[in-house]
Amino acid sequence: MTRDAEISQKPSPSKWRLILSVFLPFAAGYYLAYLFRTINAAISPALASDFGLDAAEVGLLASVYFLVFGLAQIPIGVFLDRLGPRRVQGVLLVIAAGGATLFGTASSFPELLVARAMIGLGVAGSLMAGLKAVVTWFPRERVALMNGWMIMLGSLGAVTATAPTDWLLNWIGWRSLFEVLTIGTVVVAGLIYMIVPERAADSEIGTPAQKPLTLRSVYSDPRFLRVAPLSAACIGSSWALQSLWAAAWLTDVEGFDQQSRVHQMFLMAVVLSFGALFVGAMADRLRKHNIRTEILLAGMGGLFVVAQLALILRVPLPSLLPWSMVSIAGAATVLSFAAIADYFPKQFAARANGALNLLHFGWAFMVQYGIGLVVGQWPSQDGHYPVAAYQAAFGLSVALQTAALVWFAMPWISTFGKGLCRLFARPAKPRGISAGSGRPAFERPIFEACDGVDW
């Protein structure tokens, strides 16, 4: 009997045991990652005051997390496929704890940068480790739904980074807050390492007959090339906005005071959390009707662009509405990672997810730092930047997202164009028969099967 057959004959853990010993520990790790990602919006005013930071330095401090996080995706993906998520995630979270300790004791801007980079490295595998565990232990048809639950619970970190964090800041200060985060990170690392079961198949790369999955093969896959720019542009931009610039917009453009800003950021985070679950459930239901996840991703991308345009053009709407859509766009990872799971074998799921996540966080770094650079071109008045500065910065980001959306839709645009040409340019045939079809022209479909989108 082969090893694979022996593994397949081992009884699978019950559903509730999987949830308690596999799903929830990794969800806790992703919760910490989301908390560390979005906490800068709450602590930036205090940091700017204590260290005398300008808009560009605040943007750099927040975005260095995304830069290191993104650069770590590929090697972490390889380690996750080789060693399994339990060991990799447990070790990485210890690094995050060290970064949190250094951040809380920093006395200069360079120390803050190094600490923030360590935190980014330490939590860089949180989502991928959870996704790897979901792909490994749960049925493929439930991946999108479980991803939705994972991101919903993890995004509660964004909720924690609003009103609860503001309350703690007023009570114990930002340095003591990072002491608490250090302890919490060590606890989660220990739980993951001790209670998550090991699965023999987790650390197998595959049989020698299988073609190894390389970074080049992922980035050259035509399906990946179609989805990745849209996913990176929308998700990365959403993360950059919610984790820093949404709070600045609400203060400088909307004129919110601290209490109003914290209240709206809290509501946005709640919308993000439940939006992730809703998107995952919707994707799960649409798959049952043979509607591909990528279609829903494109729809969310379009709504995301519209929401930002409403902000830029100052459409007379409650700002919570467009900002809620901006938040929900950050949960589109539910869709893009579910799509990637269909493209590549699950033995290489972490590597493929890492390749996509590299683009997500690379884009988030560029947008978050780039907005700071653009906004900084305008002089501030009493620490506030003018509306035109934010409109220009946000507008450049929207232009790139629109280009990515058009690129994603090119197969449909091409097919539609061919259909119109076929409909209007073909000369009429006698007796209503279309050339080569044997059917009346009015019965022949405009879109032929050969013109369909190849995913």
The domains of the chain are located at 19-196+215-408
Q: Where are the alpha helices (DSSP H) in 289-386?
A: 293-312, 320-329, 333-343, 349-375
pTM to 2 decimal places: 0.70
The reported pLDDT for the residue numbered 80 is 85
- What pLDDT, in 10s, does the model give residues 194-238? 888 776 554 444 444 455 567 777 888 888 888 999 999 999 999
* Beta-carbon contacts of residue 83 (< 8 Å; ≥ 6 apart): 202, 203
CA distances from 86 to 8, 16, 436 (A): 20, 18, 60
Mean pLDDT of 329-350: 79
Which pLDDT band, with edges at 50, 70 and 90, does 425 fall under? low
CATH T-level fold of 19-196+215-408: Growth Hormone; Chain: A; (1.20.1250)
* Residue 73 CB neighbours (<10 A): 25
Separation of alpha carbons 66 and 161, rounded Å: 17
Q: Which of 136-140, 394-398, 414-418, 446-450 has the highest mean pLDDT?
A: 394-398
Separation of alpha carbons 229 and 4, rounded Å: 37
Extract the tokens encoding 44.
């930036």
- What pLDDT, in 10s, does the model give residues 239-290? 889 878 898 899 999 989 888 888 898 888 888 888 877 887 787 787 777 7
- On average, the pLDDT of the chain sits at 81
Separation of alpha carbons 363 and 357, rounded Å: 10
User: To the nearest 10°, the Cα dihedral for 330, 332, 337, 338?
Assistant: 150
Lowest mean pLDDT among 181-185, 310-314, 440-444: 440-444
Do residues 239 and 364 touch, judged by C-beta distance below 8 A?
A: yes
Please work out, in degrees rounded to the nearest 5, the angle formed at the alpha carbon of residue 67 by the alpha carbons of 62 and 68.
105
> pLDDT at residue 107 above 70?
yes
Task: Tell me which DSSP letter residue 23 carries.
Answer: I
Separation of alpha carbons 389 and 395, rounded Å: 10
The reported pLDDT for the residue numbered 118 is 94
